[in-house]
Amino acid sequence: MSVQPFQTMPVSRRPAGPIIDVSPEASSLEIENLTLAYAGKPALRELTLRIPRQRVTAFIGPSGCGKSTLLRALNRLHDLNEAVSWRGSIRLEGQDIHAPEVAVDELRRRVGMVFQAPNPFPMSIYENVAFGLRLRGGLSRRRLDDIVEWALNAAALWDEVKDRLRASAWSLSGGQQQRLVIARTLAVRPEVLLLDEPASALDPISTLKIEELIRSLKSQLTLVLVTHNMQQAARVSDYTAFLHEGELVEYGPTDDVFTNPRLARTENYITGRMA
């Protein structure tokens, strides 16, 4: 994918809000001047932010603000869509993810993703978790068993499914399915886990479990969470970025953003005065 010029883009308006400065050393992902458009319609404008390592960063903002688009740019899921054009750069641990020597399937192993709707494959629970591992191959049966157990444990699902690993993944409840998908992603040992509204299709109890899981995982990897749910962002994230109309409006420690937003736009959104 090549960098394409934008005719329709207005000249960059720098986000007015203060941007916290995560040092390059402490950041897992560095996004710089990222601009992205669907079929010529701009979705992200000149975004620059650093996502800190081993922290939970939440993207919030009204529908259509570009937060999911940003998330999907981080593991190059836009590659498949011919209508998407972009410029700018994204670096993972200092390396440009669009560099020619970066294989996209390798990148996606390092940057795992969990989607809004639980999407287990129509296979057994075991095979779902082993799916990413089998793609690379070369693992002994025993090693595979160990990693599957580890991943299911890490996703807090092991105790519920250990007696029926051969059952269809579609026989699980929605919340269990979502944790299975997380386990599946964890099994390939990603450095970054992208979560696109992972609990929006779930009931409150399952949501709670997912949130606990997110908190417990940050000791191991960097998490990026897109959510519509302000309380959720406040509960689980360390940093919050507020996006609006493709721009980064405010980005800072979650406590600051929620208790003391610097911009009226942010405050309006957080307090529910802006849809």
Nearer to another protein, 93 or 238 (CB): 93
Residue of 1, 26, 117, 264 that binds another protein (CB under 8 A): 117
- Structure tokens that stand for 111 in this block: 């940057």
Closest approach of another protein to the CB of residue 103, in Å: 9
**Interacting residue with another protein among 87, 109, 189, 235 (CB under 8 A):** 109
Output 86 or 251, the one with its CB closest to another protein.
86
Distance of closest approach, residue 89 Cβ to another protein, in angstroms: 21
| Residue 38 makes contact with another protein by CB under 8 A | no
CB of 225 to another protein, least distance (A): 15
d(CA 89, CA 32): 5
Q: What count of other Cβ atoms lies within 10 Å of the Cβ of residue 58?
A: 27
Within 10 angstroms of residue 142's Cβ, the number of other Cβ atoms is 8
Interface residue with another protein among 15, 61, 66, 132 (CB under 8 A) is 132
In the DSSP assignment, the letter for residue 7 is S
DSSP letter for 29, please. E
Q: Interface with another protein includes 119 (CB under 8 A)?
A: yes
Q: How far apart are CA 91 and CA 176, in angstroms?
A: 33
Interatomic CA distance for residues 234 and 263, integer angstroms: 17
Query: Measured between alpha carbons, how far is residue 256 from residues 159, 240, 261, 273 in Å?
Result: 38, 9, 6, 19
Q: How many CB atoms lie under 10 A from the CB of residue 2? A: 7
Q: Whose Cβ is closer to another protein: residue 76's or residue 244's?
A: 76
CB of 76 to another protein, least distance (A): 9
| Of 56, 70, 73, 113, the one binding another protein by CB under 8 A | 113
Residue of 98, 108, 209, 244 that binds another protein (CB under 8 A): 108
Tell whether residue 144 is a contact of another protein (CB under 8 A): no
The single residue listed with the structure tokens 């390396």 is 95
Largest CA distance in the chain: 59
Residues forming contacts to another protein in the complex (CB under 8 A) are 75, 77, 80, 105-106, 108-109, 112-113, 115-117, 119-123, 131-132, 135-136, 168-171, 181, 184-185, 188, 201
